[in-house]
Amino acid sequence: MKLIRTEDAVGHVLCHDMTQILPGGVDVDGKSLPRFKGPRFRKGHRVTKEDIPVLLSMGKEHLYVWEMKPGMLHENDAAQRLAALCLGDNCKPSGEPREGKIGINATCDGVFLVDSKRLGQVNAVDEVMVATRKGGFGVQDGDALAGTRVIPLVIDEKKVCAAEQAADLGTYGPLMYVEPYRLKTAAVIATGSEVAKGLIKDKFTPVVERKLSSVGIEVIWRATPGDNMDALVAAIDQARACGVDLIVCTGGMSVDPDDNTPGAIKRSGAHIVTYGAPVLPGAMMLLGYFEEEYGSCGATSAPGLPIVGLPGCVMYSTATVFDLTLPRIAAGIEMTKSDFVEFGEGGLCLHCDPCTYPICPFGK
């Protein structure tokens, strides 16, 4: 940094906060009270022509400023370039940069997706940072997604260029985006002979309906076929014929001899992605796909009609494996076995009281 005359400071960057005190009234003892006392100009502020009279009125005839040599960038200019790496579909900056920081917000409801590998490569560059929320989870319009900043007040432009090269927008596009929820309709098949015979009230379907509604999916077809394998397969076939976007089978997912849901889903022709997940609660979840287009949502490029088998814990636990997977399913994003494998780290619910999901998606 260097010391210069205030009149010569236009375009330079302040090294320190500049406190301004404006006189006010007097207290009961006749002592003067300040009308205002606080930082008039923040560290990192770029001095403008209009600032000079104000600084002189504050008694600042000389200022310590950073030397803006060729090849150096102000923190706000650098932050804008970092933010540009993050502005994928349905993402926008929260406002103008301030103190070298810019936030990124969602512009629609959907699932937030991050290229974790490239994000790590960007953050490996010294003196820059991009911090995001955990990818793969649902967000709402206006939610904070990420924040960018540079560490010093001024930064060597070569470091920003290195971050841009690590992101490689030209090849891969932005680091993050929000995929809108696309599925609109669902069928729910509630298994169990006790439900089919009316011996107990079906309390599972209402829970599923609430969770589906949170991502914009309406249940338009319901069935209670009992536990018979043939009846379950027939119900699945009928649900497919209704043209829904998602089929949900509730219960019958354990190794009990009467639990035929996994076998029925497989016999109905679905390709099984996984039966089982490293998540507690929800280890017995099943996900499969039928090779056909969705019904009403028009997601013709999607992986096919998804069908899920939900274990009983979904009915009584606030957050389960279904909550971890539903946002991606609702957005029409194909889930693979590796996606479920990654749930293992952080897939243990700690049953906090009160539950803070989705703020705490299983501690991730």
Is pLDDT at 330 greater than 80 in this prediction? Answer: yes
Residue found by looking up tokens 């349905």 in the block: 90
Digit-coded pLDDT (tens) for 231-268: 999 999 999 999 999 999 998 887 666 678 999 999 99
Q: Is the pLDDT of residue 46 over 90?
A: no
**Is the same domain home to 204 and 320?**
yes
Mean pLDDT is lowest, of 165-174, 251-260, 276-285, 349-358, for 251-260
In this structure, the answer to whether residues 58 and 167 fall within a common structural domain is: no
11-26 pLDDT, tens digit each: 888 877 787 877 666 5
**206 lies in the same domain as 328:** yes
Residues 30 and 141 in one domain: no
- Where is pLDDT greater, at 56 or 181? 181
Mean pLDDT of all residues belonging to the chain: 88
Q: How remote is the C-alpha of 355 from its chain's centroid?
A: 19
Residues 116 and 150 in one domain: yes
The mean pLDDT of 152-167, rounded to a whole number, is 94
Top-confidence residue, 100 or 104? 104
Query: Do 227 and 296 belong together in one domain?
Result: yes
Return d(Cα 110, Cα 154) in angstroms, integer: 36
Containing domain of residue 50, as a range?
2-66
- Report the pLDDT value the prediction gives residue 332, as an integer from 0 to 100: 95
Q: What is the pLDDT of residue 36?
A: 64
What is the rounded distance in angstroms from the CA atom of residue 55 to the CA atom of residue 6? 7
pLDDT of residue 364: 47
3 state DSSP class of 130: strand
194: domain CATH number is 3.40.980.10
**Whole-angstrom distance, CA of residue 279 vs CA of residue 202:** 25
Check whether residue 52 and residue 76 sit in a common domain.
no
Got the DSSP string for 18-71?
EEEEEEEEE-TTS-EEEEEEEEEE-TTPBP-TTHHHHHHHTT-SEEEEE---TT
> 310 and 189 share a domain?
yes
Whether the per-residue pLDDT at 226 is higher than 80: the answer is yes
With a cut of 80, say whether residue 297 has pLDDT above it.
no
Q: What is the DSSP string of 217-280?
A: -EEEEEEEEES-HHHHHHHHHHHHHTT-SEEEEES--SSSTT--HHHHHHHTTPEEEEE--S-B
- Does 136 share its domain with 215? no
- pLDDT at residue number 158: 96
* Average pLDDT of the residues in 165-172: 97
Reported as a pLDDT band with limits 50, 70 and 90, residue 112 is: very high
> What is the average pLDDT across 52-58?
89
Q: Is 35 left (phi over 0), alpha (psi -120 to 50) or beta?
A: alpha
Q: What SS3 class is residue 78?
A: helix
Query: CATH code at 31?
Result: 3.90.105.10
The verdict on 276 and 333 lying in the same domain is: yes
List all residues 6 or more positions away from 264 whose beta carbon is below 8 Å from its beta carbon.
229, 232, 233, 236, 249
Query: Which pLDDT score, from 0 to 100, does residue 300 have?
Result: 43
pLDDT, tens digit, 9 for 90 and up, residues 143-155: 999 999 998 888 8
Which is nearest to 158 in space by CA: 131, 125, 129?
125
User: Does residue 77 lie within any of the structural domains?
Assistant: yes
Residue type, 59: G
φ and ψ at residue 322, rounded to 5 degrees: -65, -40
The total domain count for the chain is: 3
pLDDT in tens, 303-322: 799 999 999 999 999 999 99
Percent of the chain with pLDDT over 90: 62
| Pairwise CA distance, residues 101 & 77, whole Å | 10
Question: What is the rounded average pLDDT of the residues 329-334?
Answer: 96
Indicate if the alpha-carbon torsion angle 269, 275, 277, 280 is positive or negative.
positive
